[in-house]
Amino acid sequence: MIHRLATRALRGFDPEDAHGLAIAGLKLGLGPRAPADPPILATELAGMALPNPVGLAPGFDKNAEVFGPMLAAGFGFVECGTVTPKPQAGNPRPRLFRLSEDRAVINRMGFNNAGLEAFAARLARRGAGVVGANLGANKDSEDRLADYTAGLRRLWGMASYFTINISSPNTPGLRALQTKAALDELLGRLVQTADALPQGVAAPMFLKVAPDLEDAEIEAIAETVAAHGLAGVIVSNTTVARPPLRSRSASETGGLSGAPLMGPSTAVLSRFREAAAGRFLLVGVGGIASGADAYAKIRAGAAAVQLYSALVFEGPGLVTRIKRDLAAMLQADGFRSVAEAAAAR
């Protein structure tokens, strides 16, 4: 109840200021502590043991400041970032908008973060739990591919896994890296970099893609990911599409997330499942606000899921409710595990 009231109070502030206050509160130890997870939710993602398949998407903990409190709040894993080699301020404010009537968010943050060195200093103190690093490129970079390899090298041995973010709509030209030739070069350089790093470290790599993809693009991305042996694809980032929306901020530019993304992102997830043909894993993101939403992603082929935008409206207690309802749905349909549900047709 306390955290629900705090969430309601934070909605009275500018969205970015509210986010800063939430981070400050978590750093002071004011976050919730979740009960033990139902055993049926224990699963594995690319060799990483998870107590549950519900992860925190990047964007919330950009600078790796509160991954511990968010794991304690009940997330099965936390992805920090997006981090770029050099610190950058991002786009001018205002750049984050609540669409309360639509249970949605629009952001044009622009990879604002404190940079790789500050991120690494905090991640080096990581304790138990799966914590990933979402890697990006600086807006003014002369070699964006080198930015990704720099992040991989600096955080090697610190992050549980890496996500290559080439799908944010808020860094001009970034999504061009999703084209086949550019993606092939990027993944080739990343794999080559990883092969030259200490091999006693298990650090799976995932590619994060946009939901605004055609079938031919999905096929090309799937083939490239499989050819380079990445662990999986995270589907999806925010969308530049604008379905019918009611909120007054609906016309703002940037990436749309939240409830309106649930259907489109799940449809793209299903198409990636067909294209993957079991060669790599999938993580489902976009619009999750309930156990039913998480279950829909899993039944569409996701080995795990991530959420963020729904926390703006529901608060940190949401993750416990999602897990409770997800466990009940798995049991009701006779599944013994998350992996079994994801594999079932």
- List, for residues 77-115, the tens digit of each pLDDT value: 999 999 999 999 999 999 999 999 999 999 999 999 999
Contacts 24+ apart (CB under 8 A), 98-102: 98/11, 98/15, 98/247, 98/249, 98/312, 99/245, 99/246, 99/247, 99/249, 99/250, 99/258, 100/11, 100/247, 100/313, 101/245, 101/246, 101/247, 102/245, 102/246, 102/247, 102/250, 102/258, 102/259, 102/260
Q: Which residues pair with 131 in a beta bridge?
A: 78
In degrees to the nearest 10, what's the CA dihedral of 90, 172, 282, 192?
-100
Q: What are the catalytic residues?
A: 168
Mean pLDDT of the chain: 96
> Low-confidence residues of the chain, pLDDT below 50?
none
Handedness of CA 11, 16, 19, 20 (dihedral sign): negative
Question: Is the bond leading into 94 cis (omega within 30 degrees of zero)?
Answer: yes
Q: What is the model's pLDDT at position 201? A: 84
- Interior/surface letters 315-344, b for 16+ CB within 10 angstroms, e for the rest: bbbbbbebbebbbebbeeeebebbbebbee
Q: Mind listing the pLDDT tens digit for each residue in 273-329?
A: 999 999 999 999 999 999 999 999 999 999 999 999 999 999 989 999 999 999 999
Q: What is the model's pLDDT at position 9? A: 75
